[in-house]
A and B are shown apart, each in its own frame.
Chain A
């Protein structure tokens, strides 16, 4: 495997991304970025199948508009990793900020610990090949999956008494599903979101994702292979149809 190592110490994001693009164009299969400290837009608009190992803490919009690559972060991530991402994967060995996976249309974002506000907001899907997945090992703040139009958000709440304790889950959701470990109190749900029973067939459907998540972070998937989840989905695919009347 062709590996390229880049020392990002003190480097601005534009030359850093230029080096990454040049390495990809040169046929690199793996790029290791050392000493990353707050550089925004890493992998922004990047195509291909390259694997990028990020040692440090990347800045906002990691993997924005990204189409194909995998980024593995050994550290936390900032605001909106996976923003409007098309395909590929982000694996964050830590926590991430607000608006994680904002408007993501495909690919996967795995966050080992917690995420901030508005996680998975306005995620959307188109047919089977573009179905985004956000998995959070810990918990998420308010407005998780707000305006969601497709895809899957899974919150495992590992080592938490309750996976979710913040409000506004799925407000305005009109597509996709939010699956949360354990019980979710009714008052945490946003307008337009509805709780459904999590069945064996749901488990069968999402178990490959649970397995993959656990594999990435060295966890035992067996602990999560039951139906002790709450499934939250849209009450309607047209949440505003009854709010308006024509002139």
Chain B
């Protein structure tokens, strides 16, 4: 072949003085980097993804992994990545797929937003002493309340309230399907959200029976493939979410490769074993905003108007008017997924180049809904690249009611963001269906880790709010006066409706 091979991405080494020859690296590496030949452990660096499973399991810290051991000639325009993509396409003539979220080194707006705190003129609040109200209700709120006086002189609420989800903390776990990730990962997260009083999304993979005990903590998803969707599924969920788009790949559908469609996935999704599970780009019963209303109402009618229905869209250029249209349908919440949202697999060109950051999307949607006088009637859920309690607090201050986390929850289960989710070889037992790998996640232990993450962020959020003199999440929501922009351009500050630091 005239192209030859590209340099390996990683170089793996074992320090022979440290190594005790236990062979755990061989057992743990599902990519086949290590093998034993006679007395020696041989290394094939080219197979390494830097998932760090071997490093984590080595009892002697004997393993080192170096990134990019062979340099290309430096060029600021023709980067290594650009060159390698061209070589890959010259070989294949195909669309390049990649895992995880947007991997471009673009500025992150969250990192250029700063939070406020009280000094002298208004006192900060100590969350140790004062209650911090983090309870969040997601769903439709009435325009106004009407009351009626009973004969005995009591006052009764006359307005019929729409069903809402009650969250003890504004952190939910986003939709990652069974199929894309393992059952043990799902079980870990389901237990964690139950314990922490919040919710998680099922993704478009149906509902495995093992998750039934957690069903009142699950938001079931209806996407364009309608996998696993039937009346039983809809009735089990606490809420229903229609997925129109996803931040990692706005405008296109998804497909689960046949390799991942094993017996259990096939049964849960209700599709044949080993066939690709293809979600088309559009919902073929939604070709207009009127059709969206019809799908929302069909779901409500099927479940006798007992469940809130959310609509998830990717953050794209016209996200604000689109969200306004959704707010005027019968939807109870709009979910906006920013361009840093993760995925098991997406065409790289979409993952890295399509969509807009979640920060500006939250701000513009919140603003549009306020301008139209409907912000108080519908909830906003933000997702796509939320990495910490700071991102969470900033999202709420920009106007979100709650957030979905995805990658962060997976990292709490062991994921090291190696981005090889599509290969069904995940050594951490997360993005795989191979039983011996799936068993590496112990749902009991996993649940503790995920719950710990949610608890930590909740504690940090309380502290941040207390420092800002805020004791209720409602007072933080859309409170952009408590944000300042640092080194952000004027246009972005205007969209965010945030003053520059110092102003």
Do the two chains bind?
yes
Interface residues of A, Cβ cutoff 8 Å to B: 13-14, 17, 21, 40-41, 44-45, 47, 60-61, 64-67, 79-80, 83-84, 86, 99, 102-103, 105, 118, 121-122, 124-126, 130, 146-147, 149-150, 172, 174-175, 237-247
Residues of chain A with a CB closer than 8 A to B231's CB: 45, 47, 65-67, 86
Judge whether A99 and B276 touch: CB under 8 Å: no
Complex CA–CA separation, A41 to B303 (angstroms): 12
Do residues B347 and A245 form an inter-chain contact, with CB atoms below 8 A?
Answer: no
Q: How far is the CA of A79 from the CA of B297 in the complex (A)?
A: 14
Overall SS of chain A's interface: loop
Chain A hits for B445, CB < 8 A: none
Do residues A175 and B272 form an inter-chain contact, with CB atoms below 8 A? yes
B255-296: contact bitstring with A at CB < 8 Å (1 yes, 0 no)?
101100000001100111011101010001100000000100
Q: Mark B62-104, 1 if CB is under 8 A from A, else 0.
A: 0000000000000000000000000011011011111100000
0 or 1 for each of B220-237: is its CB under 8 Å from A? (1 = yes): 000011100111101100
- Interface magnitude class on chain B: 35 or more
> Within 8 Å of chain A (Cβ to Cβ): is B298?
yes
Known: A14-B301, A84-B229, A237-B272. A244 touches B347 (CB 8 A): yes
The 8 Å CB contact of B226, one of A61, A122, A244, A246, is: A122
The 5 sampled A-B contact pairs (Cβ below 8 Å) are A45-B231, A65-B234, A126-B272, A146-B284, A237-B272
Give the docked Cα–Cα distance between A149 and B420 (Å). Answer: 27
List residues of chain A with CB within 8 A of the CB of B94.
Answer: 242-245
Query: Does B348 count as interface, using CB distance less than 8 angstroms?
Result: yes
In the assembled complex, the CB of B47 is this many whole angstroms from the nearest CB of chain A, namely 13
Q: Which of B99, B284, B423 has the most CB of A within 10 A?
A: B284
Distance in angstroms between the alpha carbons of A105 and B270 in the assembled complex? 8
Report how far A149 CA is from B269 CA in the complex, Å: 12
Please, how many angstroms separate the alpha-carbon atoms of A150 and B302 in the complex?
Answer: 24
CB contact under 8 A between A237 and B280, given known A40-B297, A45-B301, A105-B230:
no
Residue of B nearest to A61 (CB): B298
B212 neighbours in A (Cβ, 8 Å): none
**B88, B271, B284, B348: the one within 8 Å of A102 (CB):** B284
Question: In the complex the two chains form, is A17's CB within 8 Å of B301's CB?
Answer: yes
A67 touches B230 (CB 8 A): yes
Given contacts A60-B294, A67-B231, A244-B95, contact A79 B285 (CB under 8 A): yes
* Interface majority SS (helix, strand, loop, mixed), chain B: mixed
Return the contact of A247 from the options B96, B224, B232, B257 (Cβ within 8 A): B96
Residue in B95, B98, B230, B348 whose beta carbon sits within 8 Å of that of A86 in the complex? B230
Q: Which of A40, A105, A118 has the most CB of B within 10 A?
A: A105
Q: Which of B225, B226, B285, B303 has the most CB of A within 10 A?
A: B285
Which residues from chain B contact A66 at a C-beta distance below 8 Å? Answer: 231
Please determine whether A246 and B258 come into contact, CB atoms closer than 8 angstroms.
no
Residue from A45, A126, A146 whose CB has the most chain B CB atoms within 10 Å: A45
- The answer to the question of B422 belonging to the interface, with a C-beta cut-off of 8 Å to chain A, is yes
> A residues within 8 A CB of B229?
65, 84, 103
Q: Is the CB of A149 within 8 A of B226?
A: no
Query: Which of chain A's residues have a CB closer than 8 A to the CB of B419?
Result: 247
- Cα of A243 to Cα of B226 in the assembled complex, Å: 23
Per the bound structure, the CA–CA distance linking A66 and B419 in Å amounts to 40
Q: How far is the CA of A121 from the CA of B278 in the complex (A)?
A: 12
Instruction: Flag if B226 contacts A84 (CB, 8 Å).
Output: yes
CA distance A64 to B299 in the complex (A): 9
Q: A99-B284, A102-B284, A238-B276 are in contact. Are A126 and B305 (CB under 8 A)?
A: no
A185 → chain B, closest Cβ, in Å?
A: 24
A47 to B96 alpha-carbon distance, docked (Å): 45
| Complex: A174 Cα to B97 Cα, angstroms | 21
Tell me how far the C-beta of A153 lies from the nearest C-beta in chain B, rounded to whole angstroms.
Answer: 14
Residues of A within 8 A of B298 (CB): 40-41, 44, 61, 64-65, 83
Beta-carbon contact of B285 and A244 below 8 Å: no
* Residue of A13, A84, A150, A174 with most chain B CB atoms under a 10 A cut-off: A84
**Cβ of B271 and Cβ of A124 under 8 Å apart?**
yes
Choose from A65, A130, A146, A238 the contact partner of B302 (Cβ within 8 Å): A65
Distance of B128 from chain A, by nearest CB (Å):
48
- Is B280's CB under 8 angstroms from A246's CB? no
CB-CB under 8 A for A126 and B294, given A45-B303, A246-B97: no
A240 touches B280 (CB 8 A): no
Q: How far is the CA of A238 from the CA of B231 in the complex (A)?
A: 28
Which A residue's beta carbon lies closest to that of B227? A124
- In the complex the two chains form, is B284's CB within 8 Å of A238's CB? no
Q: Contact at B303–A240, with CB atoms within 8 Å? A: no
Nearest chain A CB to B320 CB, angstrom units: 29
Instruction: Give min CB distance, B423 to chain A, whole Å.
Output: 8
Asked if B271 and A126 sit within 8 Å, CB to CB, the answer is yes
Given A150-B271, A174-B278, A240-B276, does the pair A41, B301 have CB atoms closer than 8 Å? yes
10 A-B pairs closest in CB distance: A45-B302, A103-B226, A126-B270, A245-B94, A245-B92, A247-B98, A45-B231, A41-B301, A237-B275, A86-B230
Q: Is the CB of B258 within 8 A of A237?
A: yes
A sample of 12 more A-B contacts (CB under 8 A), given A86-B230, A244-B97, is A40-B294, A65-B234, A66-B231, A83-B298, A99-B284, A124-B270, A174-B278, A237-B258, A238-B257, A239-B278, A244-B94, A246-B422
